[in-house]
Amino acid sequence: MPPFDLPVPLALARAVDTVPTAPGWMLEPKWDGWRCAIHAGAGRVWSRHGTDLSRGFSDVGAAAAALPDAVLDGELVAVLADGSGVAFDRLQSRAGGRGPRRGADFTVHVAVFDVLAIGDTDWRPHPYAERRAELVHLLDGGPATLRPVPATADVPEALEWVGALAGVEGLVCKRADGRYAEGLRSGWLKWRQRHTTEAVVIGVTGTTPATQALVLGRPRSGRMRAVGVTLPLGDRLRQAVAPLLRAASDEMRELPGTVGGLPGADPVPYLPVVPEVVVEIEVDQERLEFGRYRHRPRVRRIRGDLTPELVDEMPLRRGLAPSRPGGRGAIRLGGRAGAGSRTGGRPARAGTAPVRRREGACTHPRQRYCPPRVRTSGCSAPPHARQAAGAAGSGSALPGAESRAAARHPES
């Protein structure tokens, strides 16, 4: 029996931009899968958050049951049967405890990278080098679907894994003398390979300058499809892009949480803007998955030399079909809302009746109510509507930017 309660909190890695090159670091491939903890011998599987996955991944549990009593840390990876690589999306078919399906085109493997306990001995206080040796010994001759990840101290060798090994999206870096600790206390680092591409700004989200981000789109079949929400903008970039954005509507809309890179999260409210500004973004996957970026992109710069018509159509990962044109999250080129448009200052959820905006409701994302006394004289539109629409070229759709419209509405 393990010397601690299960499921146990797992170690996490802090994201870095460069791979450490100092002596004493060990490097492992970072696989594109689901993090898991496994009680080998008992055949139990848990997610990183402690959700019991034993039923959905009963094949993994059965394979692990053939091992000695131990607690392992690893990554569930869906390996395609045709040998073409791995597919992260296939793991979702096991959600909800559905389990393996006959005729599925993939097999779930586990890339095991640590051992937390063997029998009633707690191995977490032991240095990584000792845990690694024990892990390799434990899995030697074990199930083919549970294998230890490779490890090296040679940075060039490790970098060759990225792109060369199917499903490897980066590296995890661990101190050879480091102990296993929950959360970021482990001192682990993670580095992802980054790619640059272009996208069109189709909206703005965030209620404060510190949280403001851009909603990105890519063209497909004559429409602009929402593909993700960026990380929050820095002050300099926010001030540079704000004057270029013109609201396409005075109505807030919603994106599914998955488009924002947050599976299972609430919808993301945003203010749509005219899709005419192109930005260069940094992403950790070359192709879209289910028509969106799984992780939030980082904006690098504004591409003033490009127009939306010059942005390539959405590249999709093999085997992943995008949503049909006109589905939720699509807008027509030029800023007119397609299916999924919303009515009213409050975003309407799919399948609900439009919500009428009450008099005085503010369409500006920064605040929900605008006192009537700050309205522009003679303006019959709702408060801030002219600012949100960029009337007379003075308004910006991004709150917190300096503009003549902001001078007219000092409380915005």
Chain-centroid distance of CA 360 in Å reads 36
In a domain, 183, yes or no: yes
Domain boundary among 192, 213, 231: 192
Same domain, 203 and 178: no
Q: 165 or 151: which carries more pLDDT confidence?
A: 151
Q: Report CA torsion sign: 241, 246, 250, 254.
A: negative
pLDDT for 236 equals 86
* Domain-ending residue, one of 358, 381, 398: 358
Query: Alpha-carbon distance 290 to 297, whole Å?
Result: 16
Residues 137 and 285 in one domain: no
> What pLDDT is stored for residue 314 in this prediction?
54
173 compared with 362, residue with greater pLDDT: 173
| pLDDT confidence tier of residue 385, bands split at 50, 70 and 90 | very low
- Partners of 35 in the β-ladder: 75
DSSP output for 224-258:
EEEEEEPPPPPHHHHHHHGGG--BS-SS-EEE-TT
- Note whether residue 96 is domain-resident: yes
Same domain assignment for residues 317 and 342: yes
Whether residue 382 lies inside any domain: the answer is: no
Q: Which residue shows structure tokens 């011998």?
A: 41
Q: Does residue 164 sit in the same domain as residue 241?
A: no
pLDDT on residue 258: 66
pLDDT value at residue 260:
61
Residue-level pLDDT at 290:
66
Q: Taking 50 as the threshold, does the pLDDT of residue 158 lie above it?
A: yes
Residues 186 and 200 in one domain: no
Identify whether residues 156 and 168 lie together within a single domain.
Answer: yes
Convert the pLDDT of each residue in 71-83 to its tens digit: 999 999 999 998 8
Q: Is residue 224 part of a domain?
A: yes
Is residue 27 domain-resident? yes
Q: What is the dihedral of CA 229, 230, 235, 240, to 10 degrees?
A: -80
Q: Which two tokens stand for residue 296?
A: 């939030």
**234 or 263: whose pLDDT is higher?**
234
The domain boundary residue, chosen from 316, 334, 358:
358
Could you report the per-residue pLDDT of 196-223, keeping only the tens digit for each?
888 999 999 987 888 899 999 988 777 8
Average pLDDT score, the chain: 76
Selected residue with higher pLDDT from 392 and 247: 247
Q: Which domain holds residue 236?
A: 195-358
Within a domain: 33 = yes
What is the band of 406 on the pLDDT scale with cuts at 50, 70, 90?
Answer: very low
pLDDT number for residue 261:
58
Q: Is residue 157 part of a domain?
A: yes
* Whether the predicted model's global pTM rises above the 0.85 cut: no
Is residue 389 over pLDDT 50?
no
Q: Is the domain of 137 the same as that of 253? A: no
CATH of the domain at 244: 2.40.50.140
Number of domains composing the chain: 2
Same domain, 174 and 51: yes
Quick check: 381 pLDDT over 50? Answer: no
- SS3 for 108-141 is EEEEEEEEEEECCEECCCCCHHHHHHHHHHHHCC
Q: Point out which residues pair with 74 in neighbouring strands.
A: 36, 112
The token duo for 251 is 């109505």
DSSP, collapsed to helix, strand or coil, labels residue 361 as: strand
pLDDT of residue 56: 94
- Helix, strand, coil in percent for the chain, rounding step 5: 15, 35, 50
What phi and psi values does residue 160 have, to the nearest 5 degrees? -70, -25
Q: What percent of the chain has pLDDT over 70?
A: 72
Tokens 């931009």 map to which residue?
Answer: 17
Judge if 112 and 182 occupy the same domain.
yes
Beta strands in 222-348 (DSSP E): 223-229, 253-255, 268-283, 298-302, 330-332
Indicate if 56 and 200 belong to the same structural domain. Answer: no
**Per-residue model confidence (pLDDT) at position 211:** 85
Confidence of residue 411 (pLDDT cuts 50, 70, 90): very low
Q: Do 183 and 226 lie in a common domain? A: no
The H or E element spanning position 161 is: helix 155-164
How far is residue 316's CA from residue 291's CA, in Å, rounded to a whole number?
7
Q: What is the pLDDT of residues 273-324, one digit of tens each?
A: 999 999 988 887 766 766 778 788 889 889 887 888 888 765 544 433 333 3
326-347: pLDDT as tens digits: 333 332 222 232 333 333 333 4
* CATH number, domain containing residue 67: 3.30.470.30
Query: What average pLDDT does range 381-390 have in this prediction?
Result: 34
Q: Which of 116-125, 360-369, 372-381 has the highest mean pLDDT?
A: 116-125
Most confident among 25-34, 120-129, 305-314 (mean pLDDT)? 120-129
Question: In this structure, is residue 396 part of a structural domain?
Answer: no
Q: Same structural domain for residues 205 and 124?
A: no
Q: Higher-confidence residue: 388 or 68?
A: 68
pLDDT surpassing 90 at residue 39: yes
Average pLDDT over residues 154-182: 91
Residue 83: Cβ-neighbour burial (10 angstroms; 0-12, 13-18, 19+): exposed
Name the residue type at position 163.
G
Q: What is the pLDDT of residue 289?
A: 67
